[in-house]
Amino acid sequence: MSTSIPIVDIGSISGEISQPSDWEDVAAEIRNALHEVGFMYLTNHGVPNDVIAENFEISEQFFSLPKEIKRKYKKNMKESRNGWVEPGEELLHPESTFEYRECFDITSQKKFYPTDIPSFRSVHRRLESDCQKLIKNLLKLLAISLKLEDPEFFIKRCCHLDVPEIANECDFSMIYYPPILTDTSLPLGTVRCAEHTDYEIITLLFQNRVGGLEIKTASGEWIRADPIQHAILVNTGDLLEMWTNKYYPATLHRVVIPRTEEEKKSARYSFAYFIAPDSQVLIKPLESEIISEALQKDNSLQDLERKSVGEESQTPMTITAYEHIMERVKMAYGITNTDE
């Protein structure tokens, strides 16, 4: 069976007037997309195209600065997760040798921006604020899709969306994949971005014209997730997988080095906006009739709650959002507990 990534039009709930039935209809499409694939393209999402385009412009401006300038903004993990990440510094798979990309990460607290690009801050702030409404809509749709008693379940666990001082590990990552020219020498086994799952609830992924992103389907086949003009990709992360007992699995994805010389010459730019709950939120399987029914039907879905009291459990079900995210961040940056 070949799978494709569903396209979900959320225009009916993004405007001023929407009916409960519009929410139910969109939520049903999201349920199928996230349960079957774990990725979906959103159209009519309400984030203005010109705001996205302006952000790609500042991203190009920043990454084309000389390395010495970018180093001024280098991420210092002892202080925060905000800042510039050099190629090869972050490895998303334990067996990666080298991942050829750079990032500029903007965290939700202890924010700083590269002042060498004077408009960076205001341009980025506009996108962030335009994404807020979409994020709240998606969190509500997730709760409706799972038929949770409280449609605000996820929103109430992301209080930082209204009160930014509340600790959280949201991260807006501007990513640059440099062109690979015939004289670019890279270690054997280099990839652009190794296969991984994201750590949080959901990720909003913006891509410019150049593709390379691939996702692994339930049947184990890698399929392309090429850019669709003006659509935002949304994917599930680990915390949503834990919350839903794998009903919404965190889907593996990667960015491959293009196969043709012509494509290799093109740089790729993307933004991944990782949406996390408030740091102290405890992640434990939620009560949902949709999930229980699926668990009864399909015993390949792991019952994490039951497993957590069993002996072979790997996943302590009392983990906080912060603990899980930091565990994965430390692995990606090769930080051991003795480094701290």
Ligand X SMILES: O=C(O)CCC(=O)C(=O)O
Site for ligand X in 195-214 (CB under 6 A): 198, 205, 207, 213
Strands (DSSP E) contained in 2-119 are 7-9, 39-43, 83-85, 102-107
Residues 238 and 197 sit within 8 Å (Cβ to Cβ): yes
Minimum CB distance to Fe ion, residue 327 (Å): 16
Closest to ligand X by CB, 157 or 253: 253
CA torsion sign for 35, 36, 39, 45 is negative
Q: How many residues of this chain interact with ligand X, rule: CB under 6 A?
A: 11
Q: H/E element holding 144?
A: helix 120-145
Site for ligand X in 235-274 (CB under 6 A): 253, 255, 270, 272
Give dist(CA 141, CA 81) in Å, integer: 29
Q: List the x/- string, 272-301, binding to ligand X by CB under 6 A.
A: x-----------------------------
Minimum CB distance to Fe ion, residue 233 (Å): 10
Minimum CB distance to ligand X, residue 203 (Å): 7
Closest to Fe ion by CB, 58 or 272: 272
Chain residues in the site for Fe ion (CB under 5 A): 198
Give the nearest residue (CB) to ligand X. Answer: 270
Quick one: which of 13, 158, 193, 321 contacts ligand X (CB under 6 A)? Answer: 193
Give dist(CA 281, CA 265) in Å, integer: 44
Site for ligand X in 156-185 (CB under 6 A): 173, 175
Q: List the structure tokens of 105.
A: 């990460």
The tally of CA atoms less than 13 A away on the side-chain side of residue 321 is 23
Closest to ligand X by CB, 238 or 278: 238
Given the DSSP bridges, would you call strands 7-9 and 39-43 parallel, antiparallel or unpaired?
Answer: parallel
Minimum CB distance to Fe ion, residue 91 (Å): 13
Minimum CB distance to ligand X, residue 324 (Å): 15
Closest to ligand X by CB, 70 or 192: 192
265-293 per-residue burial string, b: 16 or more CB within 10 A, e: under 16: ebebbbbbbbbbbbbebebebbebeebee
Minimum CB distance to Fe ion, residue 193 (Å): 7
Q: Which does 276 bind (CB under 5 to 8 A by kind): ligand X, Fe ion, none?
A: none
Residues 82 and 110 sit within 8 Å (Cβ to Cβ): yes
Minimum CB distance to ligand X, residue 154 (Å): 20
**Shortest CA distance to 242 belongs to which of 302, 284, 198?**
284
Q: Which residues bind ligand X (CB under 6 A)?
A: 173, 175, 193, 198, 205, 207, 213, 253, 255, 270, 272
